[in-house]
Amino acid sequence: MELNDKETAELIRGELKKPRGPFSWVTDGAGYKQHMRFVKHRNEKWEIWANNGGTWKSFCVDYADRLEGGEIQ
């Protein structure tokens, strides 16, 4: 089942509140297309984000906000 952008954003925020294993993704359960969108974004933006002092959690929250706001293609 593929979640829409709003559902995926809610899922990401919820996943960040739970303990997660080292091989889990915040997009587990969102569907393949949503997961691949997140991976693409991570591959393009994570290094810049981390080098500017950003945390993984803040990166994921920012992604969820942008996804829900229609900024992620």
User: For the chain, how many structural domains are there in total?
Assistant: 1
Rounded average pLDDT over 24-50: 95
Q: Which residues contact 23 (CB under 8 A, 6 or more apart)?
A: none
Rounded average pLDDT over 17-25: 88
pLDDT band at 22 (very low <50, low <70, confident <90, very high): confident
Cβ-contact 11, 70 below 8 angstroms? no
Rounded average pLDDT over 30-35: 96
Q: Which residues contact 13 (CB under 8 A, 6 or more apart)?
A: 61, 64
What's the CA gap between 22 and 73, in Å, rounded?
Answer: 27
- Is residue 63 one of the residues assigned to a domain? yes
- Is residue 60 one of the residues assigned to a domain? yes
- Is residue 51 one of the residues assigned to a domain? yes
| Domain span including residue 13 | 5-17+29-68
Tally of residues, the chain: 73
